Structure 1
Amino acid sequence: MKKILLLLFFSTLLPKIYAQEYFPNNEGVKNTNNNFTAFTNAKIYITPTQIIENGTLLIQNGKVISVGNNSIIPKNCTTINLNGKSIYPSFIDIYTSFGIEKPKNNSSSGRNPLYDSKKEGHYWNENIRSEVNAYESFNYDQPKAEELLKAGFGVVGTHVQDGIARGTGTLIALNNFDKSTRLLSEKLTNHFAFTRSAVTNQSYPSSLMGMMALLRQMYLDLDWYKNGNSTTKDVSLEALAKNENLIQIFDSGDKLNSLRASKIAKEFGLNYVLKGIGNEFERIEEIKKTNSKLIIPINFPEAYDVSDPNQANQMELKDLRFWNQAPTNLKVLSDNGIVFALTTDKLKKVEDFRINLLKAIKYGFDKTKALEALTTIPASILGKSNEIGSLKTGSYANFVITSGAIFDEKTTIYENWVQGSKYVINDITIKDIRGDYDLTVANQQYKWKISGEITAPKSIITTLDSKKVSSKLSVSNNWISTVMKSMDSTKTTFSRLIGYIDDIQLLSGKAILFNGNEVKWSAVRTAPFIKPIDSLKLEKNNTIIATTFPNVAYGNSKKLTPQTLLFKNATVWTNEKEGILEETDVLVKNGKIASIGKNLSDASATVIDAKGKHLTSGIIDEHSHIAISNGVNEGGQNSSAEVTIQDVVNSEDVNIYRDLAGGVTTSQLLHGSANPIGGRSAIVKWKWGLSAEEMLYEDQPKFIKFALGENVKQANWGIVNPTRFPQTRMGVEQVFTDYFQRAKEYDATWKNYKVSKGKSKAPRVDLELQTLVEILNKERFITCHSYVQSEILMMMNVAERFNFRMNTFTHILEGYKVADKMKEHGVGASTFADWWAYKFEVNDAIPYNGPILHNAGVLVAYNSDDAEMSRRLNQEAAKAVKYGNISEEEAWKFVTLNPAKLLHIDNKVGSIKIGKDADVVLWNNNPLSIYAKAEKTIIEGVMYYDLQKDEEQRVAIAKERNELIGQLLQEKNKGMITQEPKKAEKKEYQCDTLEN
Structure 2
Amino acid sequence: MMKKNVWFIVLLFSIATNAQEYFPKNDGVKTTNTNYTAITNAKIFVTPTQIIEKGTLLIKDGKIIDSGTEVTIPKNTTVFNLDGKSIYPSFIDIFSDFGVEKPKRAPSSSQSQYDASRTGYYWNDHIMPENEAFSKFNFDSQKAKELLNAGFGVVNTHIQDGIHRGTGTLVALNNKDGNEIRIIKQNSAQYLSLSRSLASRQVYPGSIMGRIALLKQLYLDADWYAKGLSKTKDLSLEALNRNKDLVQIFDAGSKTNALRADKIGDQFGIQYIILGGGDEYERIAEIKKTNASFIIPINFRDAYDVENSFLTNSLSLSDMRAWNQEPSNPKILAANGINFALTTHELKSPSEFKNKLIKAIESGFSKEKALEALTVIPAKLLGQSSNIGSLNNGAFANFLITNGDIFDKKTILYENWVQGQQNIITTMNTKDILGDYEFSLSDATFKLSIQGDTGKLKSKITSDDKTLGSKISYDDIWLQITMTELDTTSQSFIRIRAYAEKDKSLVGTAVFSNGSETSFLAKKINKETKEDIDDKMSTEKNTTSIPESVAITYPNMAYGFKTLPKQETLLFKNATVWTSEKEGILKNTDVLIKNGKIAKIGSNISDASAKIIDATGKHLTAGIIDEHSHIGTDSVNENGQNSSAEVSIEDVIDAEDINVYRDLAGGVTTIQILHGSANPIGGQSAIVKLKWGESADNYIYDNSPKFIKFALGENVKQSRYSNGVRFPQSRMGVEQVYIDYFTRAKEYDKLKKSGKPYRKDLEMEVLSEILNKERFITCHSYVQSEINMLMKVAEKFNFKINTFTHILEGYKVADKMAEHGVGGSTFSDWWAYKFEVNDAIPYNASIMHHAGVTVAINSDDAETSRRLNQEAGKTIKYGGMSEEEAWQFITLNPAKLLHIDNRVGSIKVGKDADIVLWSDHPMSIYAKAEKTIIEGATYFDLERDTMMREEIKKEKAELINQMLKAKNRGLKTQPIKKKVKELMHCDHIDHDHN
TM-score (norm 1): 0.92
**Aligned partners of 1:300 and 1:560: how far apart in 2?**
31
Change over 3 Å in CA distance of 1:444–1:735 after alignment to 2: closer
Counterpart of 2:626 in structure 1 is 621
**The 10-residue stretch of structure 1 (593-602 or 494-503) with the greater mean CA deviation from structure 2:** 494-503
Relative distance call for 1:579 and 1:52 in structure 2 (3 A) is: same
In the other structure, the counterpart of 1:211 is: 211
Q: Does the 8 Å CA contact 1:37/1:78 hold for their aligned counterparts?
A: yes
Q: d(CA) in 2 for partners of 1:212 and 1:539?
A: 40
Q: 1:657 aligns with which of 654, 658, 661?
A: 661
CA-to-aligned-CA distance 1:488-538 (integer Å, 9 cap, x gap):
9xxxxx999999867355788999999x99999896884699999996454
1:298-317 correspondence runs (5 A): 298-317=298-317
The match for 2:502 is 503
* 8 Å Cα contact 1:434/1:529 also seen in 2: no
Aligned residue in 2 for 1:561: 566
Change (3 A) 1:476 1:797: closer
* Counterpart contact for 2:14–2:61, Cα < 8 Å: no
Q: How does 1:171-182 map to 2 (within 5 A)?
A: 171-179=170-178, 180-182=180-182
Amino acid at match of 1:158: T
With over 3 angstroms needed to count, the CA separation of the structure-2 counterparts of 1:105 and 1:508, relative to structure 1, is: closer
Q: 1:730 to 1:495 in 2, by over 3 A?
A: closer
CA distance in 2, matches of 1:475, 1:158: 33
> For each residue in 1:434-477, what CA deviation from the matched residue of structure 2 results, as whole angstroms up to 9, or x when unmatched?
54568899x999988666775898998999x9999999999887
- The residue number in structure 1 matching 2:614 is 609
* 3-state SS in 2 of match to 1:347: coil
Distance 1:280 1:837 in 2: 46
> What amino acid maps onto 2:129 in structure 1?
S
Q: How much identity, in percent, do the aligned residues show?
A: 59
SS at match of 2:866: helix
Q: Using the TM superposition, give the Cα deviation of residue 36 of structure 1 relative to its aligned residue in structure 2, in angstroms.
A: 1.1
Which of 2, 6, 19 is matched with 2:4 structurally? 19
Provide Cα deviations, 1:565-612, integer angstroms capped at 9, x if missing partner: 000000001111211100000000000001111111111111000000
Aligned counterpart for 2:882 among listed residues 878, 887, 892: 887
The offset of 1:115, in angstroms, is 4.2
* CA shift in 2, pair 1:537/1:208, >3 Å: farther
Structure 1 102/471 Cα, relative in aligned 2: closer, same or farther at 3 Å?
closer
User: Which of residues 680, 700, 717 in structure 2 aligns to 1:713?
Assistant: 717
Residue 636 of structure 2 corresponds to: 632
From 898, 913, 916, give the equivalent of 1:918.
Answer: 913
Cα distance in 2 between the residues matched to 1:59 and 1:261: 42
> Which residue is 1:726 aligned to?
728
Report the Cα distance in structure 1 between the residues aligned to 2:921 and 2:482, rounded to whole angstroms.
88
Residues in 1 aligned to 2:458 and 2:305: alpha-carbon distance in whole angstroms? 31
Cα 1:532–1:897 shift into 2, 3 Å: farther
Aligned length: 966
* SS in structure 1 at match of 2:560: coil
Equivalent position of 2:963 in the other structure: 968
Contact 2:437 2:522 in 1 (8 A): no
The 1:263/1:534 distance shift into structure 2, 3 A limit, reads: farther
The equivalent residue for 1:10 is none
Distance 2:304 2:387 in 1: 43
Q: Work out the CA distance in 1 between the residues paired with 2:276 and 2:393.
A: 33
Query: Is contact 2:410-2:432 (8 Å) kept?
Result: no
- Alpha-carbon distance in structure 1 between the residues aligned to 2:543 and 2:293: 28
SS at match of 1:178: coil
Shift of 1:370: 0.5
2:405 corresponds to 1:392: no
Find 1:645's aligned residue among 638, 646, 649.
649
**C-alpha spacing 1:880/1:23, structure 2 compared with 1 (3 Å):** same
Contact kept in structure 2, 1:410 and 1:529, CA below 8 Å: no
**Offset at residue 78 of structure 1 (A):** 1.3
Structure-2 separation of matches of 1:846 and 1:732? 26
Over the aligned positions, Cα root-mean-square deviation in angstroms equals: 3.4
Q: 2:164 corresponds to which residue?
A: 165
State TM-score, norm by structure 2.
0.92
- Letter of the 2:332 partner, please give it: V
Residues 248 and 459 of structure 1: is their aligned pair in 2 closer, same or farther, counting only changes over 3 Å? closer
Match of 1:738 among 727, 737, 740: 740
Residue correspondence of structure 1 range 235-384 to structure 2 within 5 A: 235-384=235-384
Kindly state the Cα deviation for residue 718 of structure 1 after the two structures are TM-superposed. Answer: 2.8
1:378 deviation in Å?
0.3
C-alpha distance in 2 between matches for 1:309 and 1:469: 33
Q: Matched residues in 2 for 1:247 and 1:90: separation?
A: 22
Deviations 1:169-204 (A, max 9, x none): 000000000113110000010010000011111111
User: CA separation in 2, counterparts of 1:297 and 1:537?
Assistant: 22
The 5-angstrom pairing of residues 32-43 of structure 1 reads: 32=17, 33-43=33-43
Larger mean CA deviation between 880-889 and 469-478 belongs to 469-478
What residue identity is the alignment partner of 1:20? N
* Equivalent-residue separation in structure 2 for 1:242 and 1:50 (angstroms): 38
Confirm or deny: 8 A CA contact 2:114 2:124 kept in the other structure.
no
Deviates more, 1:975-984 or 1:213-222: 975-984
CA deviation after TM superposition for structure 1 residue 265, in Å: 0.6
Return the alpha-carbon distance in structure 1 between the equivalents of residues 609 and 821 of structure 2: 46
Q: CA deviation at 1:973?
A: 2.2
Pairwise CA distance, 1:749: 1.2
State the one-letter code of the partner of 1:729. R
1:551 partnered with 2:553: no
Partner of 2:865: 870
2:423 partner SS = strand
Q: Which moved more, 1:523-532 or 1:131-140?
A: 523-532
- Give deviations 1:85-108, integer Å, cap 9, x for gaps: 10000000000100011101121x
Q: Spell out the pairing of 1:776-795 with structure 2 (5 A cutoff).
A: 776-795=771-790
SS at match of 1:884: coil
1:841 paired to 2:836: yes
Q: From the superposition, tell whether residues 200 and 667 of structure 1 become closer, same or farther in structure 2 (CA, over 3 Å).
A: same
Aligned 8 A contact 1:568 1:584 in 2: yes
Q: Given that residues 93 and 155 in structure 1 are in contact (C-alpha distance below 8 angstroms), is that contact kept between their aligned partners in structure 2? A: yes
Q: Which amino acid aligns with 2:989?
A: L
**Alpha-carbon distance between aligned partners in 2 of 1:429 and 1:641, rounded to the nearest angstrom:** 68
Say yes or no: does 1:750 pair with 2:752.
Answer: yes
Report deviation, 1:320: 1.3
Partner in structure 1 of residue 597 of structure 2: 592
The verdict on how the C-alpha distance between 1:891 and 1:396 changes in structure 2, with shifts beyond 3 A counting, is same
- Letter of the structure 2 residue corresponding to residue 800 of structure 1: E
Match of 1:583 in 2: 588
1:846-877 deviation line (CA, Å, top 9, x unaligned):
00000000011110000000000000000010
Tell me which residue corresponds to 1:11: none
Aligned-pair CA distance for 1:958: 1.2
Which residue identity does 2:685 align to in structure 1? Answer: S
1:184-195 alignment, distance < 5 Å: 184-195=184-195
The residue type paired with residue 887 of structure 1 is: S
The residue identity in structure 1 corresponding to 2:255 is K
Amino acid at match of 2:795: E
Gaps of at least 5 residues in structure 1 are 1-15, 489-493
1:47 aligns with 2:70: no
- CA change 1:431–1:23 in 2 (3 A) is farther
The 5-angstrom pairing of residues 424-443 of structure 1 reads 424-435=424-435
Aligned to 2:735, the other structure's residue is in SS state helix
- The aligned counterpart of 2:144 is 145
- When residues 633 and 532 of structure 1 are mapped into structure 2, their CA distance, relative to the original with a 3 A threshold, is farther
User: For residue 21 of structure 1, what is the amino acid of its counterpart?
Assistant: V
Measure how far apart 1:717 and its partner are.
2.1
